[in-house]
Amino acid sequence: QVQLQESGPGLVKPSETLSLTCTVSGGSVSSGSYYWSWIRQPPGKGLEWIGYIYYSGSTNYNPSLKSRVTISVDTSKNQFSLKLSSVTAADTAVYYCARTLRFSYYYYYMDVWGKGTTVTVSS
Partner 1 sequence: QSVLTQPPSVSGAPGQRVTISCTGSSSNIGAGYDVHWYQQLPGTAPKLLIYGNSNRPSGVPDRFSGSKSGTSASLAITGLQAEDEADYYCQSYDSSLRGVFGGGTKLTVL
Give the interface with partner 1 as residue ranges (CB under 8 A).
39, 45-49, 62-64, 96, 101, 105-111, 113-116
Query: Between residues 88 and 106, which has the closer beta carbon with respect to partner 1?
Result: 106
Distance CA 17, CA 6 (A): 16
Nearer of residues 61 and 92 to partner 1, judged by Cβ: 61
In angstroms, what is the minimal distance from the CB of 88 to partner 1? 19
Please state the closest distance from residue 123 (CB atom) to partner 1, in A.
Answer: 28
Q: Which of 79, 102, 78 is nearest to 8 (CA)?
A: 79
Q: In what order do the strands lie in the sheet with 3-7?
A: 3-7, 18-25, 79-84, 69-74
Compute the distance between CA of residue 34 and CA of residue 31 in angstroms, rounded to an integer. 6
Nearer to partner 1, 91 or 96 (CB): 96
